[in-house]
Structure 1
Amino acid sequence: MQKLRRPVLALLMAGATLGASPAWAAEPAKPAKAENSALSGELFHLILIGELELRAENPGAAYQLLLDAARRSKEESLFRRATDIAVEARAGDQALASVQAWRLAAPKSLDALRYEVQLLIALNRAGDTTEPLKTLLGLIPPGDLAGGLLALPRTLGRGAKPETIVEVVERVVAPYQKQADPAVAAAAWVAVARARLGADRVEDSLAALNAAQLLQPQSEGAVLLALELMARAQPVAEPMVQRYLKAQSAGGGSTLNAVRLIYARGLAGQERHGEALELLQTVTREAPDLTESWLTLGALQFELRQYPESERTLQEFLSRSENSAALPQGHPATPGPDEAEGRPDPRSELRRQRSQAMMVLSQVAEKRGDLPAAEAWLDRIEEVPPLLLQSRRAALMAQRGDVDGARRLLQELPADSPEAARGKLMAEASLLRDAKRWDQADAVLQRAGELFPDDVDLLYERAMLSEKRQRYEEMESLLRKVIQLQPKHHHAYNALGYTLADRNTRLPEAQALIQRALELAPGEPYLLDSLGWVAYRMGRHQEALDALQSAYRSRPDPEIGAHLGEVLWVMGRRDEAERIWREVKQRDAANEVLKETLQRLKISL
């Protein structure tokens, strides 16, 4: 059943009272002190009749009566009530008239200004918010002003056109960009930067962000936006993050470590695992109570095949997060309005994180051959997608030798959407590929391709399967189709280039394909590995060594290590080669590339 939606106007107005920003979010309602009412009998009678009209489903009359009472008494609570009635009735013009009367009666009312701004946005009149926003900022206490400026773009962004938001924000914050207080001036520039980014003006956003950080290198608003830009594949924002970390190195507290955590995740996403690992180790050491850092570190250690370290780290996460399992005192038993608007329930988020940790711990147990322990971890999981959980159960069944039973387990999953059906087929093909049932895996992928023609992920998987079966012409045809459908699919360029290099054929073409992949994903370790490997095949050993060392530093992967060791061995640096190979063997003794390399070179470690 589709979730019911409140009217847009009411929804936006609700946002004005839900604490959306630290500077002008309405305070939660507090119990009123018992006081004698200052209302006259006549006014009390107006209010009573107004409420009765509302109960009789006559909101127009109720609004008029309560607004009349508010004008006579100048009571803010009555103006608020009249405005809310108009909002609920979706009478935007009447709601705005009520708020404007409220402002005349109480010129310094923050609530009245908040309501007016939100109403103007809801009525598609964001351009008219300049005056109330300027007034509102002028009434904010100095200590809260920076927060108020930072909140501007998000407040306006609930319904206004992006370019209108830019115009309004630039006008409103202009006086604050030259303030003596660097925190305020920097916040004004960050507000402009965020508004411009919302309008897809990335270069203009970066210019404003740079101005903010020059004024205040330790600006939290600036670094958070810089991290967001990094996540949008804007590498020019990374020096701003590094500048912040340097400015805070003397001790930035919890905010510094939260930024480090987000930055580390970004680095891991760019395959810069060595840097991410070092940063996460710093965070867990300096801020051990930041539990999410333990989860991220443990997952990264698993990715790097550091299985004992991953297990210890994730056990530490579970131990520390267990203390957070109980809700804080006074937390509502059911999601509140803010959660209904898309904010995650903290209890559900914690269960999800703990389930992620248990999923990885199950894989660690599988890697060391302890299948009962792997299954026991799966039994404890509460919140993961059913397909993911059943895929793991199926993988363990296959490990025990029951591949057909594992297939049935996946096939019995419901497929109530095209995405679910596709996911089931991909999971089954992956299971069969790992079991080296190449023909059956290919048949499943072909069936999936009939249902989802021109799906690049399916085509890529079929290409990788063709490579396993040494059907190289078929593999090349499939990869070229992927490139045709998605010209920026860097994995396809790399896979084709690496396969040519590994077969020691068409090397100039292989090099061009890999270089194209690197243009699309600069610095990615697997691409650097491919570049080093093709240089090695072409006899350019120093060039190969430079590329492979860079790749291995960033991601100490067994395949990269096997290639690096071979280049060192051929260059006569045999002690270094054996050291690298031993590292790889300790991490993944069953790695096929390592075994093939040592066997071909007739080396026994």
Structure 2
Amino acid sequence: MVLASLMAAATGCAVAPHEAPKATRTGVQPLDRLQVAILPPERDVQAQLMAGDFALAGNDLKAAATAYGQAAQLSDDPRVAGRATELALAVHDQAATTRAIDRWAVLHGKPLELAEARARAALDRGDTVEAERQLDAMIATGDPDAWREIGRTLMSARDAAQAGVLLEKIATPQRLPNDSSAWLAMSELGENLGRHDYAKTVGDGAMARFHDGTTYAWAAQQKFRAGDKAAAKALFAKAVAKDPKNTRLRLAYASVLAQDGDEKSAAKLLATGPQDNDTYTMRMTLAARANDKAAVGRLYDEIRHRSDEVQSDNAFTLGQLAELLGKQEDALDWYAAVGDDDPHIYDASVRSAVVLHMQGKDDDAHEIVAELQTTYADRPEQLLKAFALDGELYMDAHQFDAAAASYDKALRVKPDDTDMLYGRGLAYAEAGKIDLSVADFRRVLEIKPGDIEASNALGYTLADNDRDLGEAQNLIEAARSARPDDPSVADSWGWLKFRQGQLDQAESTLRNAWLKRKDADIGVHLAEVLWDRGEHDEARKVLNEVRRIDPKNASLERTERKLRP
């Protein structure tokens, strides 16, 4: 009967295909009877975890700690309890820390991690006895990471003196494992915590026990800090002899040699053995500092003959080397080859703009700077540098109003930045906007009282414009006291003496400054003093030398118009 009924129903459908189906069933649908249990947020693990993550994204550690603390009580995942513990410790909530650690223990957290958390909590509340007990428990776990975590725990302590006491109690030479890295880590931690005698004892013990390159290098660093450069160099030599392929050791030894004035030996040391980006960079720095074009050329050729991968990794260094060799087109090609993920990509663009400016291609240079300003619009530090670069390029091109406008933009990114105020003050001074220039220099001195550069610049600007010469003298005298051998400060003083009519002192000061530094502005000032003293031939001789140094110098042009018969 059931089958017949079904067949009849099917037949009925077939004989009336165009008839709209009728709803013949009434009552409750199956889905209507399904009830979904909706947990309140305070009982929903996922909701709490999401709330915690959102709080972290907003840098609200306290809210994140609260949310993760609630999630830990609801979750059976020990990782959630561990995260809750970390956040509770970060906000120094002792009650929440205790609850989170207790929950973590119930969920069978790792013994080392639990002991570490309890030690950190004890340190946070100043309980030295309990902290020591938990540090001992960390060692007792036998975990290979125990000593590394002990160091991390003590470094996190808010009370360095307390951490130092515990370090000396826990990390004794008798208890430290047969692992040089643990000995060196504890010795370094002792240095950081001000426990220098302890650090020396452990460091010496490591060197006597392990005799490897790393322990010799650490002992060398300790000797260098103590001012014993000879002993430091001897120990570094032993370190490198033990591990000659270790570029870190060679770089450290080379740094000590360079700081001690032996740059030639430093360069020789780095030129032997394996090379990487850091050895190439330091070799370039040493060659440039020594103005050794031959060494620069050899290094450039050396890297260019390495594999494509090495050249690509060192494209920025190759660009700098090409610049030092005067190969500007090559430099631009290398800077263009710096990859987007290379940490030097920003600097490569900056150098490209500078090279283009040196080639007289200012439009191209400013185009690169504009691209930087767009690309780094959401990164204030880089954006500030891009505006400053624009200002420097305009200053060098004697477009002083444009330079001031660039520094203006920089100051919108970081108001009252003293470097940008100083740069704008110089631009205003060159543009003849003296009141604005003086205001910027005064603002720098308000923010940084006694700043030498600003004192000298303001003093010079006042003197150059015959304004407030008494104040100018006080400002330049302060700069001279701080930098008695600085030719720029001497130039300001000589020019002030000229404005005050003291020609003998002006000439003597400016002559000495000119001998120390062949700077165009100093030469122009000396020439003008000589001219006023009737020494026209010598004045012309100095101006001719200035013309060779900087033919486009604005002061030179003004002075020549003034002195031209």
| 1:118 maps to 2:188 | yes
Q: Say which of 277, 299, 312 aligns to 2:364.
A: 312
Query: Which consecutive unaligned segments of at least 5 residues does structure 2 have?
Result: 1-81, 87-103
Aligned to 2:408: 378
Aligned to 1:180: none
Distance 1:212 1:372 in 2: 45
CA 1:446–1:428 in 2, change beyond 3 Å: closer, same or farther?
closer
Distance 1:246 1:298 in 2: 24
Aligned to 1:173: 240
Higher alpha-carbon Rg: 2
Aligned positions of 1:294-305 closer than 5 A: 294-299=349-354, 302=357, 304=358
Task: Please state whether the residue corresponding to 1:415 is helix, strand or coil.
Answer: helix
| 1:350 maps to 2:409 | no
Identity percentage over the alignment?
13
Q: Conserved in 1, the CA contact under 8 Å of 2:513 and 2:522?
A: no
Q: Conserved in 2, the CA contact under 8 Å of 1:166 and 1:192?
A: yes
- The one-letter amino acid paired with 1:316 is I
Aligned positions of 1:78-93 closer than 5 A: 79-80=147-148, 82-83=150-151, 88=157, 90=161, 92=164
Q: Conserved in 2, the CA contact under 8 Å of 1:482 and 1:492?
A: no
The size of the alignment, in residue pairs, is 438
| 1:423 maps to 2:468 | no
CA 1:85–1:150 in 2, change beyond 3 Å: closer, same or farther?
closer
| 1:235 maps to 2:296 | no
Q: Say which of 195, 210, 214 aligns to 2:256.
A: 195
Select the structure with the greater relative contact order (CA < 8 A; seq sep ≥ 6): 1
Aligned to 2:545: 530
Query: Which consecutive unaligned segments of at least 5 residues does structure 1 have?
Result: 1-29, 139-144, 178-183, 268-273, 327-346, 515-525, 534-547, 552-556, 561-587, 601-605
Task: Please state whether the residue corresponding to 2:387 is helix, strand or coil.
Answer: helix
Tell me how far 1:74 sits from its aligned partner. 1.3
Distance 2:367 2:234 in 1: 51
| 1:446 maps to 2:473 | yes
Cα RMSD after superposing both structures: 5.6
Aligned to 1:210: 268
Q: Say which of 537, 554, 559 aligns to 1:504.
A: 537
CA 1:152–1:442 in 2, change beyond 3 Å: closer, same or farther?
same
Aligned to 2:281: 224
- The one-letter amino acid paired with 1:558 is P
Distance 2:145 2:272 in 1: 44
Aligned to 1:95: 167
Task: Please state whether the residue corresponding to 2:314 is helix, strand or coil.
Answer: helix
Distance 1:229 1:392 in 2: 30
Q: Conserved in 1, the CA contact under 8 Å of 2:494 and 2:506?
A: yes
Greater CA deviation, 148-157 or 315-324?
148-157
Deviations 1:43-77 (A, max 9, x none): 98x88986775465221x12431243234321356
Aligned to 1:284: 335
- Which contiguous aligned blocks of 4+ residues in structure 1 show a shift greater than 6 angstroms? 30-35, 46-52, 133-138, 148-155, 395-401, 465-472, 593-597
Task: Please state whether the residue corresponding to 1:318 is helix, strand or coil.
Answer: helix
Q: Conserved in 1, the CA contact under 8 Å of 2:498 and 2:506?
A: yes
Q: Conserved in 2, the CA contact under 8 Å of 1:449 and 1:458?
A: yes
Q: Conserved in 1, the CA contact under 8 Å of 2:184 and 2:215?
A: no
| 1:293 maps to 2:348 | yes
| 1:257 maps to 2:315 | yes
Aligned to 1:62: 130
| 1:460 maps to 2:491 | yes
Distance 1:558 1:48 in 2: 69
TM-score (norm 1): 0.54
Distance 1:50 1:411 in 2: 53
Distance 1:278 1:66 in 2: 63
CA 1:212–1:186 in 2, change beyond 3 Å: closer, same or farther?
farther
Aligned to 2:50: none
CA 1:219–1:68 in 2, change beyond 3 Å: closer, same or farther?
closer
Distance 1:462 1:234 in 2: 32
Q: Conserved in 1, the CA contact under 8 Å of 2:459 and 2:475?
A: no
Q: Conserved in 2, the CA contact under 8 Å of 1:213 and 1:240?
A: no
Distance 2:249 2:153 in 1: 35
Distance 2:317 2:497 in 1: 43
TM-score (norm 2): 0.57
- The one-letter amino acid paired with 1:350 is Q
- The one-letter amino acid paired with 2:366 is L
Task: Please state whether the residue corresponding to 1:248 is helix, strand or coil.
Answer: helix
Aligned to 1:558: 551
- The one-letter amino acid paired with 1:530 is E
